[in-house]
Amino acid sequence: MTWRTPQLHAMLGGLVVAIGAFVMLEQAAPIWMLIFAAMATTFLRWRGETIGAVWAWTTLGLGIESMAWPIVTMIEIRMGGSQPAEEQMEIILNAVLFGLFSSVFWVTFAFGLFKRVREGDAPPCPPSATEPAPLRNKKKRTHN
């Protein structure tokens, strides 16, 4: 297996997405993270026909995880008791701010990669008939 195969990049992308989920779900058992990594790798191998497509799907997965991070944090704190303490409110605020920032970053990055992959698959466009012809330097010649 060389570095230029989508299968290897699918495994690496699945590992990256699983690490992101592990960071988000701190109390998750390692076996669930291995199952999640296997599922992510399988999805990336299925959808990623090229290396660019694999990383586009991987970054989209990171963006979705970043969107889910504040929600998961709020649910975990709410399940722990009645009203959240001030320290827990700071944790929620950090999750919302950093989750929002990172989700916008990763989703925007993913859409840029998807656009690049899509443009790479499209045939080159022929020059249109409406484009103006190149301008020529028209100087009057003077005869001496």
**CB-count burial class (<10 Å; 0-12, 13-18, 19+) for 9:** buried
Does residue 133 lie within any of the structural domains?
no
* Domain presence at residue 127: no
Q: Is residue 116 part of a domain?
A: yes
Structure tokens at 18: 């699983």
The answer to whether position 12 is within a domain reads yes
> How many Å from the N-terminal Cα to the C-terminal Cα in the chain?
74
- Mark the ranges of the chain whose per-residue pLDDT is less than 50: none
Q: Give me the amino acid identity at 79.
A: M
What is the total count of domains within the chain? 1
On whether residue 50 sits in a domain, the answer given is yes
Residue 29 lies in a domain: yes
Q: Is the pTM of this model over 0.85?
A: no
Which residues make Cβ contacts (< 8 Å) with residue 13, sequence separation at least 6?
40, 41, 44, 48, 54, 55, 57, 58, 61
Tell me how many degrees the CA angle 18-114-20 measures, rounded to the nearest 5. Answer: 15
User: Is the residue at 113 inside a domain?
Assistant: yes
Return the pLDDT at 144.
59
Written as one string, the DSSP assignment of 17-69 is HHHHHHHH-TT--HHHHHHHHHHHHHHHHHH-SSHHHHHHHHHHHHHHHHHHH
Task: Kindly state whether residue 28 falls inside one of the protein's structural domains.
Answer: yes
8 A C-beta contact, residue 1 and residue 7? yes
Structural domain including 21 reads 6-120
